[in-house]
Amino acid sequence: MPAASTTLRVFTASVIASLTVTGCQALDDAGVALGRADLVNDLAARMDRALEQTWAADYQLSGGRTASIAQTTEPLRSAYTWPEGKITVTQQALTRCDTNGGRSSCVVSPPVLTAGRPSVVVYTEARKHHLVTPPAVIRMLTDAAIDREADIEQSDTTLAGHHATCVDVTRAGERFTACVTTEGVLASFTGALDGQPAEITLSRYTDTVEPTAFDVPADAEVVDHRSATP
């Protein structure tokens, strides 16, 4: 497994392990703590497993904007697309694209990992554009689970035809709602990300991915830096 992917998986595993222990110790009511830890563990595990599967999801953002996530296991690759750009990770390259005024420009760099798995680079880039990602949700749930004053309520819903488990979290003046499908895909999020309002809702999910999901935008100006690498 590539180093960057291993780092992400180790982080997720450590979150699950720490919550199982810390959740019980952090709260006076052991029963409540255990229920909270179990809930977070389940949602985190679902999202972690989904990172190793083939699927594509379309999302509705605030203001009528859209975004999408796609990933495949054979070959291993992933793509995050939002109105202002796109980032794609494959075994051959890391491609960042920006769209402005209807025109796109892309920069192709050497791959940061050999297996094409989603990496910290992908999530960091997506987060800059306020696109909510599974690791961001995991971190927020982790903070809530170890907060003595946090209130976490569970509910269930159906989004894009898929059942999802939701948690409504209120803590320290912060409130957010996150839903995760049975398949482990982020179904919705409403709250704040890095201090900015963020909203995302699943509009379509499929376990098959069109090859064009990993292409650069049509008529994009492409600069390839890989040839300059020794």
Q: How far apart are CA 182 and CA 157, in angstroms?
A: 11
Structure tokens at 202: 């699943």
Q: What share of the chain is helix, strand, coil (3-state, %, to 5)?
A: 35, 40, 25
CB within 8 Å of 199: residues ≥ 6 apart: 61, 62, 189, 190
112-145 in b/e form (b: 16+ CB < 10 A) is: bbebbbbbebbbebbbeebbbbbbbbbebbbebb
Q: How many CA atoms lie within 13 A of 120 on its CB side?
A: 10
Phi, psi values for residue 131, rounded to 5°? -90, 120
Q: Is 174 left (phi over 0), alpha (psi -120 to 50) or beta?
A: beta
Strand-strand pairing, 221-224 and 103-109? parallel
Domains of the chain and CATH, by start: 3-228 (2.50.20.10)
DSSP code of residue 227: G
pLDDT in tens, the chain (230 residues): 443 333 334 334 433 333 333 333 333 344 444 476 678 778 878 887 887 899 999 999 988 899 999 989 888 888 889 888 899 888 888 899 998 888 899 999 887 754 444 566 677 777 777 688 777 887 887 777 777 787 888 999 999 999 999 999 898 878 999 999 999 999 999 998 878 888 999 999 999 999 899 998 888 899 988 865 44
Res 217: pLDDT: 86
Confidence at residue 118, expressed as pLDDT on a 0 to 100 scale: 53
| pTM of full prediction above 0.85 | no
Task: Note the pLDDT of residue 75.
Answer: 85
Q: How far apart are CA 123 and CA 128, in angstroms?
A: 9
Tell whether the torsion through CA atoms of 212, 216, 218 and 224 is positive or negative.
negative
